A and B are shown apart, each in its own frame.
Chain A
Amino acid sequence: MPLETATKAKGERALSPRERVQIAVNRVGHSYRPQKGRAVTALEDVSLAVKDREFLALLGPSGCGKSTLLYLIGGFLPVEEGSILIDGQRVAGPGPDRGIVFQHFALFPWKTVLKNVLYGLEKARLPREERLSRARAFIDLVGLSGFEESYPSQLSGGMRQRAAIARTLAIDPSILLMDEPFGSLDAQTRSLMQGELLRIWQRSKKTVVFVTHDVQEAVFLAERIAVMSARPGHVKEIVEARFDREDPDLLRSPRFVEIVDHIWNLVRAEAIRADRGGAP
């Protein structure tokens, strides 16, 4: 299989036969053309295999194309070079099998929290009673009970992101795509939300692709971290980070610190390159 050899070449360890590949990104490239100026290559020859129920982080300096890769997997941008397969099917546009959470929440501001969560359930044509009970259950799961009738403009940033997560989880996507979901939250809310996301993931066991530029966040959350290079982005190295996440001293454990340091060194080199590349 060309896919496996491609991912192995990028430094991935051998897949155990029981681990099914759910998202197969195969030699994907992407470039966009700004209104003025020449085309910019955002991604070049990216190959990646995300296994079923895995938590994978895409990490890299800003402008490395990690969000672009996420949007390609989501089907929001057309795959023009290479291929992306979800459960063996070519991606052909967005769909409810891949839920997405954006950095700036993208809640519908004219709908209340409850109606935001109900939107996807209505699209799934669930019976009315079931829609309501399901929506309330997920609002409760993210700790927003009592705010069902609030509009997004009346909520804090953390609460808005909780609502957005509830809206996405309610339609039960098998894949959760997260685009720097905690990037605009304050430090306390952020670490609280990280813990809650882990708890939700462990309970629901979805495949998560999590875009971030925060090394510690990536190592804390993800089982594997795909470190991306500066533009044009490609996967530079895939780092395994499997820990006992219940351990309260995890963040100070030598292995955690060692992995963070290792990734920092990889990212630092890329960030410097990205910075120089950005200057004329």
Chain B
Amino acid sequence: MARVSERVEPFPARVAAPFHEALSRLWRALSGMLSLLVVLALWEAFAREGAVSSFLLPAFSVVVERVFQDAASGELFFNLGPTLYRTLVGFVIAGSAGVVIGILMARNAVIRWFFDPIVSIGFPMPKIAFLPIFMLWFGLYDFSKISMVVFNAIFPVITAAMAATEGVERELLWSAQSLGASRRRLLWEIVLPAALPQIFTGLQVALPVAMIVTIVTEMLMGGPGLGGAMITASRFADSPGVFAGIVEIAIAGLILVKGMAILRRRLLLWHQETKEPTTV
């Protein structure tokens, strides 16, 4: 097989095409991983060299060891559980409410008149600035943290759902109507599926936002959770603990985002852009 791919042909044989594609895909995956491996190797070498004290930068191997220790002792899951719970509950609430508000804004002038200025101000604003007020009003526990997550994650969903609904071609609606669809059924049968790719893109933006806000609220409000655990570790001058928290958050975030990408590929099999390889 290797010889086939080396031979230069003006029109490559059909059998060579999938092999070529697999090779280039493998190379893309590897090269994507490669840069990460280089950074980690540099980190390890730099820390072992003793150029900086292990308090400022513990070696990567030490951090990995700590992650495994946390996992073995159950400490990791004790913190990961609440973080994932807050992220996902906040995301689901923001996602469903955001989709409903966005679609209603696109289809109802009164609702649009009401929400439009709020969304225009709210979307670009650093909403994390409301944190002291949320702490004052809702306390330090899950309700307060999840409210903050919803407040931050809902805006990209609203704007995506509104733009998606408005962007549905009138020819699609007209086709359905002339094929006998009633006006009432158009929303479910035509508008929603037609808008789904763009709505899903909004959800894919909202998920990392939910994760980030969860970590920040945990850092500032304390209690169980990866963010809180990192702040505790830092107060005890436990550098490996802080870096282990970063690695754990990175892995959890990666799994969530990849999960969404896989879900998208399943749900939107028909959508052309979805099939093409993405960076996510």
Interface residues of A (CB under 8 A from B): 71, 74-76, 93-96, 98-100, 102, 104, 106-112, 119-120, 123-124, 151-153, 167-168, 171, 173
Query: In the bound complex, what is the Cα–Cα distance between A171 and B271 (angstroms)?
Result: 27
What are some 10 contacts across the A-B interface (CB < 8 A)? Answer: A76-B170, A94-B178, A95-B178, A96-B178, A100-B178, A108-B175, A108-B194, A109-B194, A109-B270, A153-B271
- How many interface residues does B have (CB within 8 Å)? 21
Query: In the bound complex, what is the Cα–Cα distance between A111 and B196 (angstroms)?
Result: 13
Q: How far is the CB of B188 from chain A (nearest CB, A)?
A: 13
Query: In the bound complex, what is the Cα–Cα distance between A171 and B181 (angstroms)?
Result: 12
* B177-A93 in contact (CB<8A): yes
Q: How far is the CB of B176 from chain A (nearest CB, A)?
A: 7
Cβ of B179 within 8 Å of any chain A Cβ, yes or no, is yes
* B193-A108 in contact (CB<8A): yes
With CB as the reference atom, state the residue of chain B lying closest to A123: B180
| Contact count A vs B, C-beta below 8 Å | 73
Chain A contact surface mostly: loop
Interface residues of B (CB under 8 A from A): 169-172, 174-181, 190, 193-194, 196, 268-272
CB neighbours (8 Å) of A95 from chain B are 178, 180
* A153-B178 in contact (CB<8A): no
* B171-A120 in contact (CB<8A): no
Q: B180 touches which one: A100, A102, A109, A171 (CB < 8 A)?
A: A171
Known: A75-B178, A119-B179, A153-B270. 15 other contacts (CB 8 A): A71-B174, A94-B177, A102-B171, A106-B169, A106-B172, A108-B175, A109-B270, A110-B268, A110-B270, A112-B270, A119-B176, A151-B269, A153-B271, A167-B179, A168-B178
CB neighbours (8 Å) of A76 from chain B are 170, 174, 177-178
Q: How far is the CB of B183 from chain A (nearest CB, A)?
A: 9
* A104-B171 in contact (CB<8A): yes
